[in-house]
Each structure stands twice: as structure tokens, then as C-alpha cells.
Structure 1
Amino acid sequence: MKELALKLEALNGKRESLVLAMGVFFVAVLAACLFVSAAFGYFLIVCLMVAMASATVLGRYWCNWMCPRGSFLEYVLARFSLQRRFPPFFKRGYFLTFVVAAFMFMLGLNLYLLCQNHSVASALGITLTRLLVVSTTVAVILGIAYEPRAWCVICPGATFAKLAATFKGKKPYLVNEAAACTSCLLCEKSCAFHIDASRSGVIDDPDCLKCFACVERCPSNALRFSDQA
């Protein structure tokens, strides 16, 4: 049986068509939330649960390969983005905590107000739809001002997924063979989250998408994914 790293690398070859499909799916869900029923807002909870479940085994692989909104941002905004590097504080723990807290506050406040005139189930659907619209608007603004998937750095769902990933090993592991590395930093430049993979040994960064971009860009073949840390 092929090791997991080889299986994921093979799947990445089909990624472009899947990104398009998931992007179209996201637009359809967003339209359904706005024009059909707010119950489609529960889509957010489904995505969060799947992202957290898969993160316990694969880290943030879901974000790169299957996230509907991430796919939409990548496919559509690549044509309009200014392609500027996002601010370093986007990855800081205090800022990620603030973003999660802000979303939890909006969730709680909306539920409290809506439950005065709606059932809990209905109020939750409306609230989730509002959060989806607001966060997507922010994501588009960030994607144009910085890089297409700048939102993915601060996404609350991704933050929860990273927390879930701490409970188990995040296979496959990105490994740097120090003897071959020339410290050219092409790995960091090719990474969506600008992870420095020039350090020797296992690059254990919770933001790694397992996208293989750094491996493919490395001119000295110093990087590889392996099931063994």
C-alpha cells in the first residue's frame, strides 16, 4: 500500500478541477442561504465539523483541497487580487483569538435577539447565514487587498481545526533534508501562508496545507513529505 504522502501527492494532481467544483458549490450554497432558506446556513457547521475531524489526521489538508469558500476565493480572486503579502500579525495568537471571540460574540448576540421571535433552530440558521455573508465579504476584501486566500489565515474554522490537529499527529510530515537545503527561501515564497521550510528536520507548522507547493518549487529537492516524523 502506498504511504499517505504519496496518496496525497497523487490527489493534488486533480486539485484544479475540484477547486472549481467546490467554488461553484459555495456560490450555490450562498445563494440558497439568501434566496431559498436560512436553513442552508447550517452548511457552516457541517464545514467546521468536517474540517476539525480531518484535521486530527491530516492537519489543514481540508482547507487546501475541499473548503468551498477557500476554493471560491482562490479561483475567483486570483484575477483581481493585488497579491500583497498579508500582515504578519494575521498569524499571531492574540489576533486569531480576537477574531474567534468576535465571531462568538456576534453568534451569541444574534441568537439572543432572534430567539425573541423565532425558534432556536430558525434563529441559528439566520445567524449562521448572516455570519457567512459578513465573513465572506471580509474574505473578499482581504483577498483583493492582499492575497486571494488571506482570509484563510484568520478563518475561525481554520483556527478550530488547528486546535483539533494538536490532539493527534499531522501526517504526512514535511521534512527538510538539511544537507541539500540551500536556504534560498523559495519554499516560503511559494507557500500560501509563507511558512519557512528552510529549517532542518520536521517542519511542524499548524498552518501547513499539505499542498506540496514548497516541495515542487524546491530547486535542490531538499523537501519531502513523509509518514515518518
Structure 2
Amino acid sequence: MLKITPYLGILVLIVSIGGLWYPALGYFMLLIFAAIFLSSPFRGRWFCGNLCPRGSLVDFGVSKISKKRKIPDAFRSLWVRLPIFFLMMGFMGYRVASTIVGLNTFEKIGMIFVMMCLVTTSIAVLLGTFLSPRAWCSFCPMGTAQRLIGGNKYQLKLEKDKCVNCKKCEKVCPMQLKICQTGANPDCIKCGRCVSICPRDALHF
């Protein structure tokens, strides 16, 4: 986790809410997409745990009111995640393509990004409140893309001979991963909380 990570949540609120009046703010999403696709081939889902504004919002905001229940296993299934990915990307692509031929194209496309951000953030907040803060992240389309592109990169390593199975790492994992069983996981968001809390230094990247 970076020092700025806890403060990035404000950005998603600025885009989601401020964008309703200033659609150009929606183009901030393009910077997010670029950062994701530039980092994921080398670090997998590192962006999710360190630079994602929505991730910051749920980790440091929504977590304070979350029920903190178990994330349903179905959310992690690629059979669920891939259709959601193609549906959302296809819908966004269709909206952008159908807008290009009209007037005020710049603002209209910006508003498409704003609405996409607003809708997905609303879902993330609802799921984060009634399930677990990172419930949305389990099937987030961008998280799925990062997993597919670089899920085997910059993996968490578990030294089993040092592990005492205290499971402190699993208790602090925002993605509720079974770290003691597998160590490496393509959905690890590389936040480093497990590494920091391990009393035996059995975990590292």
C-alpha cells in the first residue's frame, strides 16, 4: 500500500458526483484504464490495492459501516466475471460509438464515463456495506482484466516452513483470500497487509 492510497477515494466521488455537472471529469476514467493496462502485465492486480480510487473508498470509507460478511464464492467465478466484463465493456463501447456521430460529442462521451463510474461505484458501496468492503472487487471488470493479463505476475510468496498457521494474514486480507493454503493467488491485490502483519516474516512479494 502506498502513502497516498487512503486518500484516493475522493477522486471517485469527484468524478461520480462532480461529473454530473462537469462531464469532462469522466475522461479521468481513461487515465485509470491506461494505468491499469500499463501496470497489469507486470504486477497483476497491484493497481487494485494501491492506486484504485474506488478500492480506496471502500477500504477506508465503506469499511467503517460494512457488515463484513463472507464474499460469496460465485463472485470469484470466471463464469460470472467474464459475462459481466463483456457485458459492461460492450455496453460502454456501444454507447460511445453511437454518440460519436452526434453533436456535443465531447461532453456526451464524458457523461457516459461519468454514469458508468457512478453506477459501478453505487454497486460497490451497496455491496461493501451489506457484504464486505471489497465484494465488488471480486468481480470488478477491470480487476478481472488485470487477473487475465497478469495474474501470475508479482505473486505473493509463502514460506511454508516459517508459517505457523496463525491466519493473521487472512484476517486482514481485504479480498478474503486463503493465503495460508495457497499463498499466490491471481486475485491478490498486492496491498501488502498480510506481509506487514505476519509475525514470522513468512510472506513476501
Distance 1:177 1:208, change over 3 A: same
The answer to whether the 8 Å contact 1:81/1:145 transfers is yes
The aligned length equals 205
Mapped partners of 2:126, 2:181: distance in 1: 33
Alignment of 1:127-146 (within 5 A): 127-146=112-131
Q: Equivalent residue of 2:204, what SS?
A: strand
Deviation at 1:43, TM superposition (A): 1.6
Matched, 1:218 2:198: yes
Question: Aligned with 2:156: secondary structure?
Answer: strand
Give yes or no for the alignment of 1:22 onto 2:22.
Answer: no
Mapping for residues 173-184 of structure 1, pairs under 5 Å: 173-184=155-166
Q: What's the TM-score, normalizing by structure 2?
A: 0.86
Deviates more, 1:21-30 or 1:39-48: 21-30
1:194 corresponds to: 176
Work out whether residues 187 and 215 of structure 1, in 8 Å CA contact, stay in contact via their aligned partners in 2: yes
Map of 2:19 onto structure 1: 33
Equivalent residue number for residue 45 of structure 1: 30
Does 2:153 match 1:170?
A: yes
Q: Secondary structure at the match of 2:20?
A: helix
The 3-state SS of whatever aligns with 1:198 is: helix
Report the CA distance between 1:121 and its aligned residue: 4.2
Q: Deviations over 1:149-170 (max 9, x none)?
A: 221221111112222215xx62
Q: State the Cα deviation string for residues 89-130 of structure 1 (Å, max 9, x = none).
A: 111101111211221243145346545644654443222122
- CA–CA distance in structure 2, aligned partners of residues 100 and 120 of structure 1: 25
Deviations, residues 3-42 of structure 1 (Å, cap 9, x unaligned): xxxxxxxxx4x53xx1343122322233331112x22212
Which stretch of structure 1 is more off in the superposition, 191-200 or 128-137? 191-200
Correspondence 1:78 to 2:58: no
Tell me the amino acid that sits aligned with residue 170 of structure 1.
K
Contact 1:53 1:164 in 2 (8 A): no
Q: Is the 8 A contact 1:187 1:195 kept in 2?
A: no
Shift of 1:88: 0.9
Structure 1 unaligned blocks of 5 or more = 1-11
Q: State the 1:83 CA deviation.
A: 1.0
Whole-angstrom distance in 2 between the partners of 1:217 and 1:20: 18
Q: Of the candidates 56, 60, 77, which is equivalent to residue 41 of structure 2?
A: 56
Partner of residue 97, structure 1: 82
- Bigger Rg, which one: 1
Range with bigger deviation, 133-142 or 184-193 = 184-193
The CA distance in 2 between the partners of 1:24 and 1:153, in whole Å, is 21
Q: Distance in 2 between matches of 1:19 and 1:174?
A: 20
